[in-house]
Structure 1
């Protein structure tokens, strides 16, 4: 499976209400690509094999992480539901509730999972009308949060014009997979979800996005997103691995390193390096101590963007 394969989804699926983790979403995406390559509806409705080696390749993780991720995804996928809207025979909105998969299996020691899509999902990935969205698999491989991935998919629906219509805060929360009890204040929602997602999309995909707030009185009621595709020159400047000083800490003192590792973008992009039970995962002080030491020992492992970029925020 090549990075240049296209992910295709009906807009109804992208706009649907569901809550799953990043790994499960990645597995669904890989299964969608394999399903569309099968050709016939009978095969698409069959069992799809997702190998840990493919997951490792496309999302640039080690083998152990790939195996663990697939097993975790398999355990959660079967319980995952989604709610989507279509029309009945008289043109009225019809609210549907279903499951992503009717079977999810993990082969202990085999290094793969098996996924069988639910009957309601199959038309949403195969019988695509004019209302569907496509993007290249490689564009989402460096996104490390489910919010960023879903934000990217939301934006891709409007790629031809580079701007979304106004999206209400309630609709946006639904489409990003934020549950009702999570981040209830606007400040928390923006800092923990929206701004993190925007930063990840800007740093790790082929588009640059900004948003405009819409208010009624003093209350924010919605957002409009404007975005543009990066030029080839911009992408090369951002990702060029041969620029020697982009990923080094030469000339930076401990105070500057502290600012870097406390940067919310740095924390969002590298929190997968620590476990929740470790010292670094339990306190800000522990995180700072651990990450500064890692930067000093081997800064080359931090390649999501040039190290000094974190000093600019």
Structure 2
């Protein structure tokens, strides 16, 4: 199943300033709520495991632990703003925190967070305008600016172009502080152009921008983008049948390697939901059979097992 992030467009267009890890953490929490079926409410925490962060964004395990721990220190203070039309037809400027509670459990390498009450309907209300995208589209974006720009663009996926976004509004939506990149040269060099470069290289769209002026002064930007054609290699990875189909860098394993890596994999939190066994050895034996003959498992299970293998070991580098 694809991991979908769903946000109300009011939230997608909100003005806020989150760093890269904080954005990733919130997106993982949204996916967790959706995929687990738990839903999102103002009382029950959502749990994000460091293993999920490692697998989704391809970072080292220790890096993930420290990044999530640091993110908890600042996330509670983070705010965002958006506009809403009230029953009298007047515009209300709304400001809220993202979370009402956040905890880091050091011994478990997990974050537990509860979204602020005002955020919950913005994420879960799907009867009105909403935007959804697969988490993999932002997995390789390495800056918060790139994620924000991608989210901003796909709100207009139906038309493939945005209206003119006034400069002040663009800065707010990108999370650029008033004190940052005040010169247009710096804003384009460090925010706009690197973000577009990442989007064009790593997501499912290719985008360009046009600057709009009053006289000689740039007053805003507009964007055009188009959907990339699916690459044959990307299509192939959706239906793995063997170890080499799913992970091109992984060669067939020997029996000693199968024994070794099945014991490693059976203890990973990222695939623990696959286990219906009473102990690790039984689960490891089941994993070993998939490593040996992946075609005997369903495609999604085989893909998860070999993705975990590549992520959690250095096997692909040594073979």
Q: Match of 1:102, SS?
A: strand
Deviation at 1:74, TM superposition (A): 1.1
- Deviations along 1:21-74, one digit per CA (max 9) or x if unpaired, are 110011101111222345576757410000000000000111001111111111
Distance 2:233 2:39 in 1: 38
The answer as to whether partners of 2:41 and 2:120 remain within 8 angstroms in 1 is: no
TM-score, normalised to structure 1, is: 0.72
Deviation at 1:131, TM superposition (A): 1.6
Q: Which residue of 2 aligns with 1:307?
A: none
What CA deviation, in whole Å up to 9, does each residue of 1:75-134 have, x standing for no partner?
111111111111111111101111100101001121111011100000010012332111
What residue is the counterpart of 1:223 in the other structure?
221
Within 2, Cα distance between the matches of 1:109 and 1:176?
35
Aligned residue number for residue 305 of structure 1:
none
Which residue number corresponds to residue 82 of structure 1? 80
List runs of 5+ in structure 2 lacking aligned partners: 238-246, 250-315
Report if aligned partners of 2:9, 2:130 keep a CA contact under 8 Å in 1.
yes
Matches within 5 A, 1:127-138: 127-138=125-136
Question: Could you say if the C-alpha distance between residues 224 and 42 of structure 1 is closer, same or farther in structure 2, counting changes exceeding 3 Å?
Answer: closer
Q: Secondary structure at the match of 1:32?
A: helix
> Taking structure 1 as reference, are residues 9 and 242 closer, same or farther at Cα in structure 2, changes over 3 Å only?
same
1:114 aligns with 112
- Residue 139 (structure 1) aligned to one of 137, 143, 148: 137
RMSD across aligned C-alpha pairs, in angstroms? 2.4
Partner of 1:69: 67
Q: Which residue of 2 aligns with 1:99?
A: 97
Q: CA deviation at 1:142?
A: 0.0
> Which residues of structure 1 form unaligned runs of 5+?
244-299, 302-313
Q: Provide the rounded CA distance (Å) in 1 between the counterparts of 2:134 and 2:234.
A: 18
**Contact 1:23 1:73 (C-alpha < 8 Å) held by counterparts:** yes
Show the counterpart of 2:170: 172
Q: How does 1:50-65 map to 2 (within 5 A)?
A: 50-65=48-63
Is residue 7–residue 136 contact of structure 1 (8 Å, CA) maintained in 2?
Answer: yes
SS of 1:170 mapped into structure 2: helix
- Helix, strand or coil: the match of 2:114? strand
SS of the residue corresponding to residue 212 of structure 1 reads strand
Larger radius of gyration: 2
**TM-score when normalising by structure 2:** 0.71
Separation in structure 2 between the aligned mates of residue 31 and residue 217 of structure 1, nearest angstrom: 45
CA distance in 1, matches of 2:3, 2:68: 20
**Partner Cα distance (2:43, 2:166) in 1:** 35
Partner of 2:160: 162
Residue 141 of structure 1 aligns to a residue whose secondary structure is coil
Q: Distance in 1 between matches of 2:143 and 2:28?
A: 17
Q: Which runs of 4+ in 1 moved over 2 A?
A: 35-45, 233-237
CA–CA distance in structure 2, aligned partners of residues 167 and 122 of structure 1: 27
